[in-house]
Amino acid sequence: MSAPRRLGPAGRFAQAWISSKLTPLLIAAALLIGAFAVWRLPREEEPQIIVPMIDVFVEMPGASAREVEERVTKPMEKLLWEIPGVEYIYSTSSPGSSMAIVRFYVGQDEEKSIVRLNQKLMANFDLIPPGASQPLVKPRSIDDVPILALTLSSGRYGDFELRRIAAQADDAIKQVPDVSAVTLIGGQKREIRIALDAAKLAGYGLSPLQVGGALSLSNRRLPSGQFAAGNREYVLETGEFLRTAEDVRDVVAGVANGKPVFVRDVAEVTDGGEEPSEYVRMALAGSRQFLPAVTISIAKRKGTNAVIVADNVLKRMDALKGGVIPSDVNVAVTRNYGDTAAEKSNELLFHMLIAVASVSLLIAITLGFRESLIVFIAIPVTLALTLAVFYLYGYTLNRITLFALIFSIGILVDDAIVIVENIVRHWRMPANRARHPFEVAIEAVDEVGNPTILATLTVVAAILPMAFVGGLMGPYMRPIPVGASAAMVFSLLVAFMVTPWAAVRILKRAQGEERGEREDVFTRFYRRAMGAILHKPALRGGFLGGVVLLLLGSVSLFYFEFVKVKMLPFDNKSEFQVIVDMPNGTTLEETARAADALARATLGQPEVVNLQTYAGTASPFNFNGLVRHYYLRRGPNVADIQVNLLPKGERKLQSHEIAKQVRQRLLPVAGRYGARIKVAEVPPGPPVLETLVAEVYGPSLGERLGIARRIRDLWKRTPGVVDVDWYVEDDQPEYRLIVDKEKAALNGVSEDDIARTMQMASGGYQAGLLHAESEKEDVALMVRLDRASRSDLERIQDLKVAGSNGRLTAIRELVRSEPVVVDQSIYHKNLMPVTYVTGDVAGAMESPVYALLKLAPDMARMRAPEGYAIEQNMSTAQPSGAERYSVRWDGEWHITVEVFRDLGIAFAAVLILIYALVVGWFQSFVTPLVIMAAIPFSLVGILPAHGLMGAFFTATSMIGFIAGAGIVVRNSIILVDFVELRLAEGMALDAAVIDAGAVRFRPMMLTAAAVVAGAAIILFDPIFQGLAIALMAGEVASLALSRMTVPIVYYAVNLRRKSQ
Amino acid sequence: MRAIYYSPLIFAALLASCGNERTPRAAAAPGGSVPVRIAPVSTQDWPAVYEAAGTVRARTTATIASRVTGYVERVDVQVGDRVRRGQTLITLDARDFEIGVRSAEAGRAEAQSAIPEADSGVAAAKAGLDLARTTFRRMEELNAKKSISSQEFDEASARLKSAQANYEMARARRVQLDSKLAQAAQEVESATIARDWTRITAPFDGIVAAKTADPGNLAAPGAPLMAIEQEGGYRLEAAVDESRLPSVRAGQAVEVELDALRRRLNAKISEVVPAVDAASRTYVVKVDLPTDPQLRSGMFGRAVFPLGAQRSLTAPASALVERGQLQSVFVVEDGAARTRLITAGRRTKDAVEILSGLSAGERVVAPVPPDLQDGARLEVRP
């Protein structure tokens, strides 16, 4: 060993840098790059997943849902389905309108997707049936999610004034750089209301349509060209706009008996707030007072830093206070993703610091203070370079990227440890006493160089395949394999470049005097025990059998539900929403009342800081709401309650626990009002339609509804399944006025006249804008019947229409009314008609996997009308045909299946890669199998640890297990490598394997300790807890087991081979 | 040198310390309780009605025209003026008729002036007759005594007859003169009447409803100059939709709402015009209105026909709080006032129909004290 030999790549590399003056510069440069990356990387709490999602709306007024389905939805779906990259098309055909949500595969280019979709629609405009509108295309992306919500509320000002204040503030906020969409929710817009008096109109012989027409015609101003005179050009303009309510009153609505009839003669004109279509209220925890409120939600531009945008907006708002915003208007920040992002990233950067410090401390204890200093240089340099990779890759600083770093600290430190330890060992060797320390150091680096490269590659091989996980979850967690792999590669470079450089300058050479290979009591016991086991085949078999039994026992914990599987555990966020659905046909006021009562019940929860109720509209949506399309919720029977909780540090309970308690508080209240509620927590990972989703497929709508109803009822009965709902509207009464065509024709009245008159009377007709120049928002001229007159079907028919002879005829004379039921919407998923049943799990069961296992047997007993059992589809694919009734499980189950399936494939790839690497190193087909036998042993630690910690076995646990496999293999390699070295030196097989376990245990333990120290901080994160548990427990278990098992298996295998 | 190693981490720590701001405003619940009166929300009968628009018309209308042809000289009244019977409305140019009167008067004077001459003629004839009769009587006596010749007697007799005839003639002339005088007087009268026709007067107490005459116009017999409506008798002529026919009959009591007067009058249907206007699918219903000095014809009115009753939720009108188009009431819940958003429908003076937001049996604060806020504690007063 002491003889000079040709240096390997590692040695040559170290030689080049160990004395170079460039090395410190490079260290400084790396750290600066890292600092720059930290400064420049946009902060986010959750990573942004790019899922191009485009909503397409088509109107076809008057058509029934069935007709819309056939005329609009189906042809459109078929076209959209032709677009490459489309994963799902969810369509809804409602009476008069069709909506299709087109979701592209995750990671598809947004611009390309939009262009393709637009192109496809444009090219087929000729196929639009008469009566249908052109499609309205609205792309939705994660960047539409508001990062900031400001709620203005006041005890003094009402909805109308607050809206005007908010509109004024909106102007100022828009000016802030990088602000994207700013939306005002709630309040009443200004409107000029022209409430027609039906009897007066009749008295003057005017019809409502004439008044509407007169209003829009007199609100004109047109440039009319120019003329030249006296060598000058003059511009002509004709007409004058309506600017005030007084102008509107003075409009001539028509002529009766040769005299002009003014609008004021036939209508009451008021200038004020519009008729409320939404109510937004705010309540603070202390006061229990519900104040009128307007929420301003602010989104940021793509790729900008939420922290900075939010800060700038808040600064701008502060400047407005006292001026535009009176002091008695309370401005509450009801959402600040900038704040949460900054908080989260700062917290995680701090955690990173702790991880680095604890690993360094560990080194200081085990190796010495100076050694720890070297590690303390090596880790930041590696992390800095990895951060630079994130920056170049376009990632943001979010919980995933930062966890990738924290998680890799424990692993990457190993390279440094190995190098430092070997340099120290070599310096201590008596033979090297007289030699130049640099030379010895290079030699030491070279000695462990190749195994270190192999070990690093093994870890990379274990982590990198996870980058190819598909679905929503793939891009969500992709920074972990990418970041950790980059960190590993950098750690290798640093270990060969920086570590020797620092070691020769920091370490004191004289420090270690000759320390003999003193073995402690455990090692001596180990040697004795191993000697016994190795030499008695029965004992050997018994031991191996015991280990296998232990493994099987651990895995059986899944079966006994001691360890529960859930894709992602619950997060601890400071907000959640309550989604309230009243039966169709509920008035807005009744909905507001129910929302109010629910909100009061919610306020009883001590952790609630404030809440906002949004009746008739949707609260500012989050990523969850984006996927679930909560932002489309509108109408008198829907309400949202946005609940904001105390910050994490100030409350004991986790948000999921609070949500569960709130649900218990709300259920009786909801029952009283007949409301269906969903407590929508922010999901920790990619959002889904609902945790539990059963899609019922089949040919007939009625039968599908029947099956869906049975499923819904079953779910409602099942404890642990909550928030059960289905995508079926309740019957809502509708009156259809059927025109007597002959009578109408005799009076010279067209059906269109009647329909438009009715529309104007009850829905209102916007006869243009009030051209008030300084107004911030559009002020509509709304012609409508007054509320009292249009709240009665009898009275509304008293309205008159003008016939072609100019005479008025009451609508009643020309129509008959027929009570019907509003058509139910028809849903399609990927062109197949479907009925959804949704639910959540809480309480008795927390993971959809178990709900599914419990429900599936009951659902399997359901029969289709033809008598066959309804097939249940657990896979990610849709049923092959809609001819037979079938149920497909979707929701979190879909993602669970997808993720665990992909992770399984990734794991298989990991095994193959590692095998290939080890075969390459040992030039043997059998030895790698011995080495890899250690991989399953980590499960012996992982599963009981999850059970004891009460944690779910989650996707992150799986990631931990897979990543851990790399480290476990690396330990085994060290052992086997040592055994082969000893064998080559001529040691007996039994002595060699025992010696390996005894001598190499210390560095293995050091590696394990580093992993434990590095990952410990992750235990505190609710989502990545599984990763930490899997890494720590897996590492400890495999350390304990592989020390004995791997040598024994190696011995057994080689003994047989030798004997052959 | 070492500071550099720490720098990203220090930077991170610095970031962690900033940007944590919360609005601490959690106002305390209102302290004292507010004394209020409350009222229950109840289901009440609201009349279901049908409203028909109509116009107020007078029952008697006189269209004033001139009897004579003549230029209008003066119009003394304007549309809307109240006039008394006999009051001059229009004066025509009367010069022609003055001349007629004057010439008739002249004729009468001439006749009158002939009377004394005729009278003296009669007197002269009478004197001649008396003389002739005296002479004849003497001659007769003498003749009886045969003291005169028959010749003389015959002469005397002839003179008597002639004197008699003379007298008769004079008398006849006088009588003729009388009748001539009477005729002349008649002529004067008729000329005067004709002259008076140039002053057009009101036929009864009423109101000028229309006026077409202006000074200088030529008024011709039969051409309407003015319309006067008799005061006191008005009715509403409303157009009622065909399908409402069964619920309308003559003699039925209806309410008539007059927007201009802001009043409701109790009235009675006097007549249902039997024919339906096919162009508008309506027929005319005439409703007699009670006497009211403010009524004017042409006024817009609605006849409110009762159709029965409708059960609707009702709250006291004083409970309603309106802010723009936002309507709410304060509901008493657990001793505190809670703002409840509602929509209000029809209203009467003291009640309001609730379309949505309340249920029967709930109690609302009525009247609402100023500055009552959501969440305020209430002290209910009887």
Query: What would the pLDDT profile of A785-811 be if each residue is shown by its tens digit?
Result: 888 788 888 888 888 888 887 788 888
**Helix pair angle (A337-366, A369-393), 10° resolution:** 150
**Residue A810 pLDDT:** 86
pLDDT in tens, B237-282: 888 888 888 878 888 888 888 888 888 888 888 888 888 888 778 8
**Residue A1060 pLDDT:** 56
**Residue A789 pLDDT:** 80
Contacts of A923 (CB under 8 A, 6+ apart): none
Read off the amino acid at residue B197.
W
CB-CB under 8 Å, A202 with B325: no
Indicate the average pLDDT of chain B: 82
Q: What helix, strand, coil percent values describe chain A, rounded to 5?
A: 55, 20, 25
Mean pLDDT of A754-770: 88
Q: Would you place residue A966 in the very low, low, confident or very high pLDDT band (cuts 50, 70, 90)?
A: confident
Q: Would you place residue A5 in the very low, low, confident or very high pLDDT band (cuts 50, 70, 90)?
A: low
Mean pLDDT of B82-108: 87
Q: Which of A460, A555, A624, A595 is nearest to A936 (CA)?
A: A555
Mean pLDDT of A279-283: 91
Indicate the average pLDDT of chain A: 86
| Interior/surface letters A871-902, b for 16+ CB within 10 angstroms, e for the rest | ebbeebebbeebeebbbbbbbbbbbbbbbbeb
**Residue B47 pLDDT:** 82
Q: Which residue has the higher pLDDT, B7 or B348?
A: B348
Is B26's Cβ below 8 Å from some Cβ in A?
yes
Chain A from 344 to 363: CB within 8 A of any B CB: 345-347, 349-350, 352-353, 356
Distance from the A206 Cα atom to the nearest Cα atom in chain B, whole angstroms: 12
Is B242's Cβ below 8 Å from some Cβ in A?
yes
Q: Would you place residue A519 in the very low, low, confident or very high pLDDT band (cuts 50, 70, 90)?
A: low
**Residue A3 pLDDT:** 45
pLDDT in tens, A559-582: 888 888 888 788 888 889 999 999
CA–CA separation, A239 and A588 (whole Å): 41
**Residue B16 pLDDT:** 40
Residue B51 pLDDT > 60: yes
pLDDT in tens, A498-512: 888 888 888 776 544
Q: Which residue has the higher pLDDT, B328 or A511?
A: B328
Enumerate the residues of chain A whose CB falls inside 8 A of the CB of residue B364.
Answer: none
* Contact in structure between A886 and A697 (CB atoms under 8 Å): yes
What single string gives the DSSP state of each residue in B228-275?
A: EEETT-EEEEEEEEGGGGGG--TT-EEEEEETTTTEEEEEEEEEEEEE
pLDDT in tens, A350-371: 988 898 888 888 888 888 888 8
**Residue B22 pLDDT:** 38
CB-CB under 8 Å, B373 with A289: yes
Q: Would you place residue A518 in the very low, low, confident or very high pLDDT band (cuts 50, 70, 90)?
A: low
| Residue A984 token pair | 């080559």
Q: Which of B304, B307, B310, B308 is nearest to B266 (CA)?
A: B304
CA–CA separation, B366 and B363 (whole Å): 9
Contacts of A176 (CB under 8 A, 6+ apart): A309, A312, A313, A316
Angle at A145 between CA A143 and CA A149, to 5 degrees: 130
- Nearest-by-CA chain B residue for A397: B12
Distance from the B316 Cα atom to the nearest Cα atom in chain A, whole angstroms: 16
Chain B from 300 to 339: CB within 8 A of any A CB: 300, 302, 307, 323-326, 338-339
**Residue A270 pLDDT:** 87
Enumerate the residues of chain A whose CB falls inside 8 A of the CB of residue B345.
Answer: 787-788, 791
Mean pLDDT of B147-168: 85
**Residue A569 pLDDT:** 80
Mean pLDDT of B182-205: 87
Tokens 């793509």 sit on residue:
A302
Coil vs helix vs strand at A31: helix
CB-CB under 8 Å, B26 with A284: yes
**Residue B243 pLDDT:** 82
Distance from the A459 Cα atom to the nearest Cα atom in chain B, whole angstroms: 26
pTM for the complete prediction?
0.79
Considering CB atoms only, which of A160, A288, A596 is closest to B29? A288
Residue A515 pLDDT > 70: no
Q: How far is CA A331 from the centre of its chain?
A: 28
Enumerate the residues of chain A whose CB falls inside 8 A of the CB of residue B9.
Answer: 349, 352-353, 356, 380
Residue B354 pLDDT > 70: yes
pLDDT in tens, A136-188: 999 988 888 899 999 999 888 888 889 989 998 998 899 999 999 999 998 88
Sign, CA dihedral A1012-A1015-A1019-A1023, equals: negative
**Residue A118 pLDDT:** 93
Establish, for the pair of chains A and B, how many residue pairs have beta carbons separated by less than 8 Å: 199
Residue B19 pLDDT > 60: no
Chain A from 586 to 645: CB within 8 A of any B CB: 587-590, 592-593, 596, 609
Residue A99 pLDDT > 90: yes
**Residue B6 pLDDT:** 42
pLDDT in tens, B219-242: 888 888 888 888 777 888 888 888
Mean pLDDT of A46-54: 82
Residue A71 DSSP code: I
What share of chain A in percent tops pLDDT 70? 98
* Contact in structure between B204 and B61 (CB atoms under 8 Å): no
What single string gives the DSSP state of each residue in A876-927?
A: SSPPS-SSS-EEEEEEHHHHHHHHHHHHHHHHHHHHHHHHHHHHHHH--SSH
Contacts of A401 (CB under 8 A, 6+ apart): A47, A390, A395, A479, A483
Q: Which residue has the higher pLDDT, B180 or A1003?
A: B180
Distance from the A915 Cα atom to the nearest Cα atom in chain B, whole angstroms: 38
Coil vs helix vs strand at B136: helix
Is B28's Cβ below 8 Å from some Cβ in A?
yes
**Mode of pairing for the β-strands spanning A832-841 and A279-284:** unpaired
**Residue B31 pLDDT:** 54
Give the CA radius of gyration of chain A: 36
Sign, CA dihedral A160-A164-A169-A170, equals: positive
Residue A338 pLDDT > 60: yes
